[in-house]
Amino acid sequence: MTDAFARSVSDSIDHFPEPVPLWPSMNLFSLFRPDSQLQHSLHPQMAWASKSVATAVLRSGLFLKRQLWVWPVIATVLLSVLAFMVQRSIAATMKENLQSQLQTLLAVETEMLQNWIRMNTANAAALANSQTIRESVYDLLDAADPAEADKPRKDLGEIRRMLEKQLRPILVSHSYAGYNVFDKSQRIVAATTEELIGREAIPEFAGVLTRALRGETTIGPPFGSVVMLKDETGRLRSGVPTMFVCAPVRDASFEIVAVLALRIRPELEFTRILQLGRFGESGETYAFDKTGLMVSNSRFDEELILTGILPDRDDARSILNVQLRDPGGNMAEGFRPKVRRSEQPLTTSATAAIAGGSGVNIEGYRNYRGVPSLGAWMWLPQYELGVATEVNMVEAYKPLTILQWTFRSLLGLLAASSFAIFLFSVRVAKLNRNAQMAAIELKQLGQYTLEEKIGAGGMGVVYKGHHSMLRRPAAIKLLNIDKVTDASIQRFEREVKMTCQLNHPNTIAIYDYGRTPEGVFYYAMEFLDGIDLQTLVEQYGPQPEGRVIHILLQICGSLYEAHSLGLVHRDIKPANIMLNRRGAEGDVVKVLDFGLVKAIDDARQAGLTAINSLTGTPLYMAPESIQSPNSVDARSDLYAVGAVGYFLLTGHPVFEAENIVQLCQQHIDAIPIPPSQRIEQPISTEVENALLRCLEKVRTRRPQTARELAQQLDRAPTKGDWSLETADEWWDLHQRDLPSAPPAVPSVAEKTPYGQTVLTNSGTRPQ
């Protein structure tokens, strides 16, 4: 096998490129920087990316590949980050749900409380507007008025008994504990408790009476009784929790003359309504007044006694006895404040509500027991009453805590498992690599016997060999055992599957594909002993027009078959076209390297070639390959065929530039110089027109198929100038002195540490 074919085959080894991304917001040409390794393929002065950058990237990649212990660490770190993000997302969702639940519970409780208030105010208003009650109140006011003492009037005691008799049915049916009647001076003129009669301007009644005398039927917050009343145990004492619903009594002219107040026991329905709003095992809903005093019962009275907030008595209740103050620590866990409770600040919820606001806190604050809690609150200004619902923070976030511990446990298990898997993988990989190396050293891959190594690249090596039974020579391509990955295997298989579909005599033939028991992937292909077109022109200069037509017609035949199967080569260039002597016939063309072949049906190669990636050789790329790589089609290959023909005729590429930026820009918008103007020899109009049509910027102006291009070339008068005899003479003369050159590795895309994409080349031969 000649060095020329060795170079061409080694080219195909590396044609599993890392695509060069083309971001829409960036100039395409800013993605490339000069690199000295490709200067021969463009211009002697072209410079590419810095070697130091390429070396740094290469060393980083090798470090990660050799230092296998890094991967389990990376996996654990990535999973830790993932766990953190998942946990954070779940925490955010949980907080949203808690906030919604607290606000919903508070809204329901508040609505229930307001419905209860509306029912009681309706009862009071109905009684105050009752004709019989109003007449009794008028008589009561007349009899109790000192200014009317000299006038005849009804007995005051009889009037009170009559009024009480009239009120008793509604008092009993709605569980009212009693009544009071106030005149306009806020003096009690009648009451269930006789001790209250005659007293006036009682501070506890001031707020609700003022609103009632303004014409509102309203209810006041609970307060401690000012006289001896029976508590819930039946014992007489002062300070018994009580509250009143008050309604104005009007005369015939609709003037307010008195206020009817019905006494309610708050520990009954008022507190029970609030205690319905329980969130879990630690949640509670309670009411408080504008001083921060709790005016409903807490569900934690026993705990409040144990912590000293309530006195240790059987009748101790939190209603009207607990100030909503922050003790500064969790008293349920043994904390005891250093200052008196009256000197402690109000809790967050009480402070915010009394200021007239509604809100929710899901970040946590200390409640009146010092327990970290979440809560929502609302202030009801018309009743001078605040309502809050709270839940223990530990209970609310218990699912999140469990999730956190679960994640930590899983990460710990993952770290341990990763370490164990790493040790096992290292051992297995070492044994597997030894087995693969042994198989290669034995120079036997399935039915193929390896001979000398004839090419190498980044992804694998090529050996000359032969079939053990048929004794037929073959070029055997092996994946580099140090670089076998799922992606490289997929690309390797893809190249084989794409190429083996092609049966045209001018397309390199694939004989076999397989994998040894040791895991060495290989395929055997046709062994060629010719010269590639790049070397042909470099060594022997521009070629005769007849020979160029002869070569291009064969290329068109190979491509027409590929295009008919829906495949686009994408990297037609002189170095990928071999000229051989086959079957005693000279100048037989073989199109190589279908490693970049693209199925027009993108689903057939999903994930193997990135969208918006630059693949191909810049000297022979169609404009659309640069501007929108994912849109290439058969006509893009024909552009490259025209560029190859131009190179064969003139000895020069279509465009020459100082750097790849200028070169790509010329492919996009520069008009090619006709071949006849670049060489001294005449060129037939048919050939020149055919090549220039191929080089049109707009695809619709090019030949639409390879067969159409072949037909145009076939009409050239110089077609017969190169015959089989002429070809045989040339091969007889030059076959023994075909040039040799060191094998090269084609361009691959790399990333610099600064995120810029550059092209590098580790070979020395021009592409």
Both tokens assigned to 244: 């009143």
What is the pLDDT at residue 30?
Answer: 37
* Residue 606 pLDDT exceeds 50: no
Average predicted confidence (pLDDT) for the chain: 80
Both tokens assigned to 248: 């104005």
Range in 348-362, 372-386, 422-436 with the lowest mean pLDDT: 422-436
For 632-662, how does the pLDDT look when each residue is reduced to its tens digit (9 = 90+)? 999 999 999 999 999 999 999 999 988 888 9
What is the pLDDT at residue 640?
Answer: 95
Mean pLDDT of 564-589: 90
What is the pLDDT at residue 157?
Answer: 83
User: At 627, is the secondary structure helix, strand, or coil?
Assistant: helix
Mean pLDDT of 323-334: 93
Q: Looking at per-residue confidence, does 178 or 750 come out higher?
A: 178
Burial class (CB in 10 A: 0-12, 13-18, 19+), 108: middle
431 to 232, 438, 440, 708: CA distances (angstroms): 86, 11, 14, 56
Both tokens assigned to 203: 């501070």
Contact 386, 377 (CB under 8 A): yes
What is the pLDDT at residue 564?
Answer: 92
Contact 84, 260 (CB under 8 A): no
Contact 149, 176 (CB under 8 A): no
Q: State the residue for tokens 């995120």.
A: 755
Q: Which of 12-16, 144-148, 405-409, 758-762 has the highest mean pLDDT?
A: 405-409
* Residue 89 pLDDT exceeds 70: yes
Q: Burial code of 571-581, b = ≥16 C-beta within 10 A, e = fewer?
A: bbbbbbbbbbb
Of 297, 303, 245, residue with least CA distance to 276: 297
Of 582, 531, 573, residue with least CA distance to 555: 573
**Dist CA 752 CA 758 (whole Å):** 7
- Backbone φ and ψ of 586, nearest 5°: -85, 165
Of 764, 757, 750, residue with least CA distance to 62: 750
Range in 14-18, 107-111, 362-366, 412-416 with the lowest mean pLDDT: 14-18
Q: Please name the helix (run of DSSP H) or strand (run of DSSP E) that holds residue 754, with its range, or none.
A: none
For 18-46, how does the pLDDT look when each residue is reduced to its tens digit (9 = 90+)? 333 333 333 333 333 334 333 333 443 33
**Dist CA 616 CA 614 (whole Å):** 7
Contact 594, 523 (CB under 8 A): no
Range in 109-123, 144-158, 317-331 with the lowest mean pLDDT: 144-158
Read off the pTM: 0.49
What is the pLDDT at residue 496?
Answer: 76
Mean pLDDT of 581-596: 82
Contact 529, 630 (CB under 8 A): no
Both tokens assigned to 250: 């009007």
**Dist CA 76 CA 421 (whole Å):** 13
266 to 113, 240, 274, 277, 333: CA distances (angstroms): 12, 10, 11, 16, 31
Both tokens assigned to 613: 């990636």
DSSP class per residue in 337-401:
-SS-GGGSPBPHHHHHHHTT--EEEEEEEE-TTS-EEEEEEEEETTTTEEEEEEEEHHHHTHHHH
Mean pLDDT of 54-65: 48
Of 615, 680, 620, residue with least CA distance to 647: 620
Q: Which amino acid is at 184?
A: K
Both tokens assigned to 742: 């060191």
Q: Which amino acid is at 207?
A: G
Angle at 234 between CA 228 and CA 238, to 5 degrees: 20
* Residue 345 pLDDT exceeds 70: yes
Both tokens assigned to 10: 């080694």
* Residue 601 pLDDT exceeds 60: no
What is the pLDDT at residue 765?
Answer: 33
Q: Which amino acid is at 727?
A: A
Q: Looking at per-residue confidence, does 159 or 344 come out higher?
A: 344
Helices 685-694 and 706-714 cross at an angle (nearest 10°) of: 160
Total Cβ atoms within 10 A of residue 124: 27
Q: Which amino acid is at 432?
A: N
For 419-431, how does the pLDDT look when each residue is reduced to its tens digit (9 = 90+)? 787 777 777 767 7
Total Cβ atoms within 10 A of residue 85: 10
Mean pLDDT of 345-372: 93
Handedness of CA 252, 254, 257, 263 (dihedral sign): positive
Both tokens assigned to 618: 């810049």
pLDDT band at 755 (very low <50, low <70, confident <90, very high): very low
For 435-470, how does the pLDDT look when each residue is reduced to its tens digit (9 = 90+)? 666 666 667 777 888 888 887 765 678 888 888 888
Range in 417-421, 429-433, 493-497, 746-750 with the lowest mean pLDDT: 746-750
Q: Please name the helix (run of DSSP H) or strand (run of DSSP E) that holds residue 600, with its range, or none.
A: none
Percent of the chain with pLDDT over 70: 80
Longest dimension (CA), the chain: 156
Give the helix, strand, coil percentages of the chain, each rounded to 5.
Answer: 45, 20, 35
What is the pLDDT at residue 34?
Answer: 39
Contact 527, 475 (CB under 8 A): yes
579 to 533, 582, 714, 760: CA distances (angstroms): 7, 9, 20, 27
pLDDT band at 115 (very low <50, low <70, confident <90, very high): very high
Mean pLDDT of 302-329: 90
* Residue 559 pLDDT exceeds 90: yes
